[in-house]
Amino acid sequence: MKPSRPPSEANAQSPETLVGLRTREPVRVAAGIPAIVQTMKHVMGQDGVVKGTRLLLKVNQANGFDCPGCAWPDPDGHRSIAEFCENGPKAVAEEGTAERVTPEFFRDHSVAELSEQSDYWLGKRGRLTHPMVLREGATHYEPIEWDAAFALIARGLNALESPDEAVFYTSGRTSNEAAFLYQLFVRQFGTNNLPDCSNMCHESSGSALGPTIGIGKGTVKLDDFEKAEVIVVIGQNPGTNHPRMLTSLQHAVRNGAKIVAINPLHETGLLAFKHPQELLHLLGKGTQLASLFLQVRINGDVPLLQGVAKELLETRAIDRDFVDANTAGFAEYEANLEKVNWGDIVEDSGISRDQIRALAELLARHDRIIFCWAMGLTQHKNAVANIQEIVNVLLLRGSIGKPGAGVCPVRGHSNVQGDRTVGIYEQPSDAFLDALSAKFGFSPPRKHGFDVVDSIRAMRDGRAKVFFAMGGNFLSATPDTEATAAALRGTRLTVHVSTKLNRSHLVAGRQALILPCLGRTEEDCQAGGPQFVSVENSMGVVHQSRGRAHPASERLLSEPAIVARLAKAVLGERSTVDWDALVANYDNIRSAIEQVIPGFDDYNARVRQPAGFYLPNGPREGKFTTPAGKAHFTVHPLPRQELAPGQLLMMTIRSHDQFNTTI
């Protein structure tokens, strides 16, 4: 996710001057006064003091909006206390900016001219105000009325030979209500081509956890952090990406827990932390967080975790009763580890035998153990193996399904988990499709659809001709920018539902549309009055989010309204759904979700409780919901990394003042 520069400038400058690189001593303590001063400058600079502060007071409160910054949960009992970190205000200010991208702006700047600008510059132009169209052969976007825009999309979609020639992407800020309507429309249209940002993010976590423990999500709650004895943070940098998690880690340390960090880098936030909401703390040295830091080689996690497991087995430090009662596949797993050679483990992990022993000894003394992870594990070719090795270690210690213990994949986008729960998935289960069919009286397509990479290939090969994005920045977020650009340019129509201008709007199909929508912080008024939406955080809590700010433009539609009007334009009489009724009052959407998806009983009542409600999670209660009713050990080979002389192994990380493709 590198910031792009105009090619002319790029050619003239060396790499160092291009991105302003400089070296300095690493920072030793995360957050504290400098971070807060920076944040307040940022918010006030964007929006003026009054509106900025008023908006911030609504972040993550029971009657406010869910912070768009990340998916870390809020404390269950006391959501009335403003819980924010330095990133939340930046995300809020990004949306609450006073700058506007108007039809006049598009008249004054051609698409070619805009393409020369950096991602940062594009983002700083402000909020989109008006639906815009780029007609075939045109150099500039021009305004279009909403009805005409929906008619144009309807013509594009209905002219396809098969519904499978369209692709419908989702980013992770879309609410449960919008996402459920969106997948309903897409499936009534006739395809499961629903790629999403999860494909690039925690897909591997879901794929690893589903078959091994029975649910593709984490098993811990926030209060498990208070009860844990050991918390391992592996392949994750909460200081930059989930700052509110540092508060939970700080509490855990004060309760006597040991924190272990496993990372190729010394991530400052993991080593020491000053709490931004505790004044005295800001003046002191900060809490030391990690008591053990293992500087693993890049992609050395499988050998490291196998080493820890081998040590636990050799010292008979496993919970044999738990293993016998609750798991399958142990004998094969044990036999494989006996064969793995210590020399390979130490060399491939980059961690000494002594340090591996130190971690194993720590785990051996405790069973309330939590493993947290994010992109440092999920974005490898062998990502599923990385995560299943964590499950293996936890199963050996009997550490899933009891208080203070379990797996904790830390999600990124604030509703990426909820979007999946309500049906944004290219490989829907038959049970889900059966329920959708029963509720709405139609036959959903059964053939699995395209994920992100399949979608790019299909567009490249001319098998997909219309691209529709509910949020996000597909071009900049996907792996091969040049290939994706060529693929998008080859389509007949690209459509982006967005709050802000980004690079994906500038790489268009034969025709392109930008549809501006309300953001999370803004009031959403429909025929039935003011509405709120709901989201699911990293720990499976569903709660409400109500925007309070005045919308950036009177022409903005909410995402659910856009889907409903689109569905009516595209499907007309073919649809069995009363789209107007669903959108008039989002309670109607929630009732439909309740009837289709297990765990949402009494959705409308429970979502109105200040702390929301937990979705069911068998493994959390010690019930492994796999077909065999057992948790499964899995065997994986050591990934081998052969580097030729002069080759380097590289990794990606997020920089501090970046949110995915937003700089």
Ligand X SMILES: Nc1nc2c(c(=O)[nH]1)N[C@H]1C(S)=C(S)[C@@H](COP(=O)(O)OP(=O)(O)OC[C@H]3O[C@@H](n4cnc5c(=O)[nH]c(N)nc54)[C@H](O)[C@@H]3O)O[C@H]1N2
| Interface residue list for Mo ion (CB under 5 A) | 201, 412
> Which residue among 250, 263, 382, 388 contacts ligand X (CB under 6 A)?
263
- Choosing from 114, 383, 477, 592, the residue that interacts with ligand X (CB under 6 A) is 477
Which of residues 133, 194, 197, 209 is near ligand X by CB under 6 A? 197
3-state secondary structure of 595: helix
Pairing of strands 493-498, 511-516: parallel
Q: Residue 534: which residues within 8 A CB-CB, separation 6 or more?
A: 175, 176, 177, 418, 542, 543, 544, 545, 590, 607, 612
267 is in the binding site of which of Mo ion, ligand X, none (Cβ under 5 to 8 A by kind)? ligand X
What is the C-alpha to C-alpha distance for residues 261 and 632, in angstroms, rounded to an integer? Answer: 26
Closer CB to Mo ion, 201 or 563, in the complex: 201
> Is 471 near ligand X (CB under 6 A)?
yes
Q: Which is nearer to Mo ion, 376 or 412 (CB)?
A: 412
Cβ pair 65, 548 in contact under 8 A? yes
Residues between 410 and 469 that touch ligand X (CB under 6 A) = 412-413
- Of the candidates 115, 131, 197, the one whose C-alpha atom is nearest the C-alpha of residue 424 is 197
- Residue 478 in 3-state DSSP? coil
If the CB atoms of residues 77 and 530 are measured against ligand X, the closer one turns out to be 530
Q: Which does 474 bind (CB under 5 to 8 A by kind): Mo ion, ligand X, none?
A: ligand X
The rounded radius of gyration (Å) of the Cα atoms in the chain is: 25
Interacting partner of 499 out of Mo ion, ligand X, none (Cβ under 5 to 8 A depending on kind): ligand X
Among 101, 201, 369, 663, binds ligand X (CB under 6 A): 201
Under the criterion CB under 6 A, does residue 298 sit at the interface with ligand X? Answer: yes
Q: Is 202 left (phi over 0), alpha (psi -120 to 50) or beta?
A: alpha
The position carrying tokens 């807060």 is: 36
Q: How far apart are CA 254 and CA 260, in angstroms?
A: 15
The nearer residue to ligand X, 436 or 507, going by C-beta atoms, is 507
The verdict on 172 binding ligand X (CB under 6 A) reads yes
- How far is 91 from 70, CA to CA, in rounded Å? 9
Rounded to a whole number of angstroms, the minimum distance from the CB of residue 651 to ligand X is 4
Is residue 124 at the binding interface for ligand X, with CB under 6 A as the rule?
no
Nearer to Mo ion, 201 or 495 (CB): 201
The residue among 625 and 658 lying less far from ligand X, judged by its C-beta, is 658
Nearest Cα neighbor of 374 from 201, 619, 160 is 201
Closest by CA position to 294, among listed 366, 376, 229, 359: 359
499 binds ligand X (CB under 6 A): yes
Q: Looking at 43, 55, 186, 200, which residue binds ligand X (CB under 6 A)?
A: 200
Q: Does 535 bind ligand X (CB under 6 A)?
A: no
CB of residue 8 vs ligand X: minimum separation in angstroms? 24
Span near ligand X by CB under 6 A; candidates 39-47, 209-217, 262-270, 545-553: 262-270
With a CB cutoff of 8 Å and minimum separation 6, the contacts of 259 are 230, 231, 232, 233, 249, 252, 253, 270, 289, 290, 291, 292
Q: Could you say which residues in the range 504-533 bind ligand X, by CB under 6 A?
A: 517, 519-520
What value, to the nearest 5°, has the Cα angle with vertex 181 and ends 180 and 185? 120
> Helices (DSSP H) in 619-660: which residue ranges?
none
Q: Where are the beta strands (DSSP E) in 439-595?
A: 466-470, 493-498, 511-516, 524-526, 529-531, 533-536, 541-545
The region that residue 383 occupies, defined by phi over 0 for left and psi between -120 and 50 for alpha, beta otherwise, is: alpha
Minimum CB separation of residue 443 from ligand X in Å reads 29
Orientation of helix 383-396 relative to helix 301-314, angle to 10°: 20
> Near ligand X by CB under 6 A, which window of 212-220, 424-432, 434-442, 497-505?
497-505
* Among ligand X, Mo ion, none, residue 471 binds (CB under 5-8 Å by kind): ligand X
The residue (of 144 and 375) whose beta carbon lies closer to ligand X is: 375
Residue pair 626/212 in contact (Cβ under 8 Å)? The answer is: yes
In the complex, what is the shortest distance from the CB of residue 633 to ligand X, in angstroms, rounded to a whole number? 21
Shortest CA distance to 233 belongs to which of 374, 60, 24? 374
Identify which of residues 624 and 659 has a Cβ nearer to ligand X in the complex. Answer: 659
Write each residue from 209 to 238 as x if it is in contact with ligand X (CB under 6 A), else as -, in one continuous string.
-------------------------xxxx-
CB of 276 to Mo ion, least distance (A): 24
Q: Which of 191, 204, 241, 491 binds ligand X (CB under 6 A)?
A: 241
Q: Which of 111, 154, 584, 653 binds ligand X (CB under 6 A)?
A: 653
Positions in 579-618 near ligand X (CB under 6 A):
none
Buried b (16+ CB within 10 A) or exposed e, 235-271: bbbbbbbbbbbbbbbbbbbeeebbbbbbbbeebbbbb
Give 235 or 398: the residue with its C-beta nearer to ligand X: 235
By beta-carbon proximity to ligand X, the closer residue of 160 and 233 is 233
232 Cα distance to chain centroid: 21
Residue 602: count other Cβ atoms within 10 Å of its Cβ.
10
Q: Which is nearer to ligand X, 134 or 436 (CB)?
A: 134
The CB-nearest residue to Mo ion is 412
Site string for ligand X, 29-68 (x = CB under 6 A): ----------------------------------------
Closest CA to 613 of 626, 603, 625, 628: 603
Q: What is the contact surface with ligand X in residues (CB under 6 A)?
A: 1, 70, 87, 171-173, 197, 200-201, 234-237, 240-242, 262-265, 267, 296, 298-299, 301, 374-376, 412-413, 470-474, 477, 497-500, 502, 517, 519-520, 559, 651-654, 658-662
